[in-house]
Structure 1
Amino acid sequence: MKRILSHTNKMLMKTNRILTGGLAFLMLFAGAKVFSQEKAKPKPKSEPKAVTAPGQMVKPVKGGTITDPNTTPPQKKIFPYPILQSKLENGLNVVTVPYQSPGIAAFYIVVRTGSRNEVEPGHTGFAHFFEHMMFRGTDLYPKDKYGAVLKSTGASANANTSLDRTLYHMTGDANKLETMFMLEADRFQNLKYSIQGFKTEAGAVKGEYTKNSANPYTKLNEMIQNTAFESHTYKHTTMGFFEDIVDMPNQYDYSIEFFNRYYRPEYCTVIVVGDVTAEKVNTLAKKYFGQWKTGSYVSTVPPEPAQKETKYTNLQKAGFPPYLSMNYKGPGYDAKSNDFPALDILCAAYFGENSDIYNKLVIQEQKVRSIGGDSYTTRDPYLISVEASLVDAADFGYVRKEMERVLEEAKSKPIDGKLLQETKMNFRNSAIMSIDNPTAIAQNLSHFTWVSGDPEQLNNYFGMYDKITPQDIMRVAQKYFSPERLTIGTIAPTEKVTF
């Protein structure tokens, strides 16, 4: 769960790992991010041996949630508004959240297709590419006319792409909701572009890649994903492999095929939040999306083999702040597991600005500019990261050892009860403050829609926070933070980093 993002470059890198395009959305529920002070690179990441005192043994904690009489008492649902769902015959899911926002409505379409679905060699980057192409227009609403009609609703359309989805969104006049439905249904069913228009946009995507890659944090992120993964499509970023981007102008026919595969009702969810009723939303959905034909394509994402040893990658960059990124293979989203909430709390408690390691390395010793940890809720197993921006490259080995020392402590020593409760409450308060307008509500429901297919999982996820125990924190630390799950990425003035 992203918690504190106070350094522009760090936020940029991590955002580019997980999210490409338009609005870099506040992924409050997407993983744990706790960075402090000058934050540098943001980044989308065996049963270890517990460290104990000499002669002492600690068995790994096994199983799922462990109940404890000292856990936080059950609280009300984090999301206080009704989530009203209906499904059209063609498979399109329609979600309505009536909310007291007179005259305002947020309109979101979640396409559960991201770089994860780019399974065919030579064709990476197309999910992000269609984020661009979807604004090319249709016969009924060419690009300029689309913009003019949209303007009449008081809204502006935007989109962004991540590992697991593409998200289209606008917020405007609730009285013009039918116009929003009409415009979006038309382009989702009738998108049209010429070969020349396709090539023009492909050139723009190449330019975007070049610009992004000039940022060392973004480049390191790309290198980390490519190094950490062997078979799974999380190996490439949402931008895609550069060689595929270069060849994209020659892939017009494939682009049509990609659109016909994934821009289908069974891959999509419409979310409308604001001054609306479910009756009106469902009526408009059926009117404008009801004739949309269901597809038949299902992508098969290659499973990732078990990693057997620590991997390394380094970006040589003289005159740039040294950077250390420790990335452990983590879990995929599972509605029945509390691993992600436990990891969120672990990252916040052990690597946040109130943590012992922050006090030691940032304040007392001043060896790092920033330090933090974060996990991300993704559909498939991704990466849990612990990262630091160093003052001196000579301290790479020392800072790594300090990070590993803290992780070993998390495996073998129960978290302080007061710290656990404070961390839980911070998450709850942040969550409550993030659902105070239609756009924010739609954004957060979108996240659980793309990772699970069900926006109701928002309440389930946060309900688990109240039940996390010290034993849960130890269990996930033992489960995920081991050398054979680790990929280390660095930015250094030298060709190689010696630890």
Structure 2
Amino acid sequence: MRRLLTLLLLLLGTATALPAAAQSGPTAAFPYTLNTEKLPNGLTVVRVPYPSQGIIAYVTVVRVGSRNEVEPGKTGFAHFFEHMMFKGTKNNPEGSREKVMGTFGFDDNAFTTDDVTVYYSYGPTAGLPKLIELEADRFRNLEYSEPAFQTEALAVLGEYHKNAAAPFLKMEEELNAAAFQRHTYRHTTLGFYEDIKAMPQAYQYSREFFQRWYTPDNTMLFIVGDFDDAKVMQLVRENYGPWNRKVAQVTVPTEPPQTGPRTAHIDWPQPTQPRQILAWRTPAASVTTMDAAIQTVLVDYLTGPTSPAYKSLVLDKQLVEEIGSDYSVHRDPNLFTLTATLKNEKDRDTVRLALLKEVSNLAAGKLDAARVKAIQDHERYGTLMSLQTPRDVGVRLAMYGGILGTPDGLQLHLQNLTKVKPAQLQEFAKKYLTANRIILLSLTPKVAGAGGTK
């Protein structure tokens, strides 16, 4: 629910320092080699050989998301700028890039999260030289007129209205408002509604945004598939080498400690099912701690199909349609959640207490070590099975690389997953999943729907 753009789904500052060239070999958890080079301008270029027979994925991650939007009145620009990046340059005016991409048969898209913006193209290796030229041009030389900017701003406003028609955006907004008082995670990736409405008047700011964040030292490029490495690197150096901007430095406000439980409630005016969220603010993902790996295991341990909560609430008593978590890795402390879609409003307290009981049991040391090991094995197997195409590999690498600040972030995370000990789950729950740190959000439909009553 909390990620408007459904994907898998971070460290302050720019990317971790790398030698001029480095190689990360395959492991049991990640069976592909990463050949990494950092250009003199700071651009990190990662090439991943993949047996895809003439197919490549070309994925660019910029370490800018809604987290970076620190100026009042200027939320939503990371997402908005994702749209503007398709508007063309002097050398390749709007529409010409898409025409070339279509000629080669490339699938081309992008998405924005709280912490990063990711652009990906997927298609034939034969088009790679032209693709490198086009991508370097737009990241160096993006151009668009004020009328084009204003037109796209209205399209983004329409996107907000479309998302607002379902309960998930409102739930995310209310949960963020309850959880964060100062940190920029308080607003969603789309931004505050009033700021989105005001975007057409912010043309000049948009130009500053591009200069501030779309810089080589704030960007990683992942090329995955079947290609000639030497030729690719020659083209990358030629086309990206002149890119010479430096990333801006801003201070993201630190969230003060939470001193007691918080609640939020939504009366939803349309038929839907009641929802319940339990949330706690928990540590950021980092390559130097086990916090992200622990929370990844906790998701399945508390709500997965082998958990007591799932067996009781979903299978036996059938009080909920589903339970789960919206946890994803973040650069700064964010939320670990337990979510439930109820069948009937009258069962809300029963469901909430059942989930709290599982957390309490965990904190008290009632642990099933065999189930922890099974979850770890399942995570490893699931990751391997999800890497079916160069695009799967490239997007996953880009997400973890951008959030964790190092191109091998995914491998490091997967290695940490295998190291999680049952005692660490208990320690984490005792420290972070406590009564005085909880945030409870409930949604009740005003009109009865799918068993909901009001």
Query: What displacement does 1:137 show?
Result: 1.1
Helix, strand or coil at the partner of 1:14:
coil
Per the alignment, residue 262 of structure 2 pairs with: 311
> Partners in 1 of 2:386 and 2:292 — Cα distance?
19
1:256 maps to which of 201, 207, 215: 207
Per the alignment, residue 358 of structure 2 pairs with: 406
Helix, strand or coil at the partner of 2:325:
strand
For 1:392-412, what per-residue CA distance to the aligned partner results, in whole angstroms no more than 9, with x for missing partners? 212222211111111000111
> Partners in 2 of 1:81 and 1:364 — Cα distance?
42
Per the alignment, residue 425 of structure 1 pairs with: 377
> Partners in 2 of 1:468 and 1:295 — Cα distance?
38
> Partners in 1 of 2:318 and 2:196 — Cα distance?
42
> Partners in 2 of 1:235 and 1:374 — Cα distance?
16
Per the alignment, residue 44 of structure 1 pairs with: none
Per the alignment, residue 272 of structure 2 pairs with: 320
Per the alignment, residue 160 of structure 1 pairs with: 111
Per the alignment, residue 200 of structure 1 pairs with: 151
1:373 touches 1:387 (CA, 8 Å); kept in 2? yes
Query: What displacement does 1:76 show?
Result: 4.3
The total of aligned residue pairs comes to: 431
**Structure 1 length as normaliser, TM-score?**
0.83
1:110 is aligned to 2:35: no
1:447 touches 1:455 (CA, 8 Å); kept in 2? no
* Aligned-partner residue type, residue 386 of structure 1: L
Per the alignment, residue 436 of structure 1 pairs with: 388
1:142 is aligned to 2:93: yes
1:175 is aligned to 2:126: yes
1:210 maps to which of 137, 161, 169: 161
1:153 touches 1:180 (CA, 8 Å); kept in 2? no
Query: What displacement does 1:280 show?
Result: 2.2
2:213 touches 2:247 (CA, 8 Å); kept in 1? no
> Partners in 2 of 1:125 and 1:313 — Cα distance?
23
1:189 maps to which of 128, 140, 148: 140
Query: What displacement does 1:145 show?
Result: 1.2
For 1:430-489, what per-residue CA distance to the aligned partner results, in whole angstroms no more than 9, with x for missing partners? 011122321111011112211122121222211122222211111111121012322111
1:386 maps to which of 316, 319, 338: 338
> Partners in 2 of 1:265 and 1:150 — Cα distance?
23
For 1:10-52, what per-residue CA distance to the aligned partner results, in whole angstroms no more than 9, with x for missing partners? xxx3331xx3xxxx43x1xx39xxxxxxxxxxxxxxxxxxxxx
Query: What displacement does 1:414 show?
Result: 4.1
Query: What displacement does 1:254 show?
Result: 0.6
Per the alignment, residue 190 of structure 2 pairs with: 239
2:218 touches 2:247 (CA, 8 Å); kept in 1? no
Per the alignment, residue 452 of structure 1 pairs with: 404
* Aligned-partner residue type, residue 395 of structure 1: D
> Partners in 1 of 2:362 and 2:351 — Cα distance?
17
For 1:142-184, what per-residue CA distance to the aligned partner results, in whole angstroms no more than 9, with x for missing partners? 1221111112232032110000011111011112211111111
* Aligned-partner residue type, residue 292 of structure 2: F
> Partners in 2 of 1:278 and 1:102 — Cα distance?
15
* Aligned-partner residue type, residue 223 of structure 1: E
Query: What displacement does 1:253 show?
Result: 0.8
1:285 maps to which of 236, 254, 266: 236
Report the more deviating stretch, 316-325 or 258-267.
316-325
1:154 touches 1:172 (CA, 8 Å); kept in 2? yes
> Partners in 1 of 2:260 and 2:285 — Cα distance?
24
1:223 is aligned to 2:177: no
* Aligned-partner residue type, residue 117 of structure 1: N
Per the alignment, residue 340 of structure 1 pairs with: 292
Query: What displacement does 1:130 show?
Result: 0.8
> Partners in 1 of 2:170 and 2:326 — Cα distance?
19
Change in Cα spacing, 1:363 to 1:436, as seen in structure 2 (3 Å) is closer
Report the more deviating stretch, 253-262 or 149-158.
149-158
Report the more deviating stretch, 365-374 or 296-305.
365-374
> Partners in 1 of 2:437 and 2:231 — Cα distance?
49
Which structure exhibits the higher relative contact order, with contacts defined as CA atoms closer than 8 Å and separated by 6 or more residues?
1
For 1:285-339, what per-residue CA distance to the aligned partner results, in whole angstroms no more than 9, with x for missing partners? 1110100112252121111111111111111025321100111101101212112
Helix, strand or coil at the partner of 2:236:
helix
Write out aligned runs for 1:360-375 (5 A). Answer: 360-375=312-327
Runs of 4+ more than 6 Å apart: none
Gapped regions of structure 2 (runs ≥ 5):
11-25, 448-454
Change in Cα spacing, 1:84 to 1:143, as seen in structure 2 (3 Å) is same
1:94 is aligned to 2:94: no
1:352 touches 1:373 (CA, 8 Å); kept in 2? no
Per the alignment, residue 331 of structure 1 pairs with: 283
**Structure 2 length as normaliser, TM-score?**
0.92
Q: Percentage identity across aligned positions?
A: 37
* Aligned-partner residue type, residue 241 of structure 1: F
Helix, strand or coil at the partner of 1:332:
coil
2:367 touches 2:422 (CA, 8 Å); kept in 1? yes
Per the alignment, residue 16 of structure 2 pairs with: none
Write out aligned runs for 1:262-273 (5 A). Answer: 262-273=213-224
1:15 is aligned to 2:3: yes
For 1:63-85, what per-residue CA distance to the aligned partner results, in whole angstroms no more than 9, with x for missing partners? xxxxxxxxxxxx94311221011
* Aligned-partner residue type, residue 355 of structure 2: M
1:340 touches 1:375 (CA, 8 Å); kept in 2? no
* Aligned-partner residue type, residue 128 of structure 1: H
Gapped regions of structure 1 (runs ≥ 5):
1-12, 32-74
- RMSD over aligned Cα atoms: 1.7
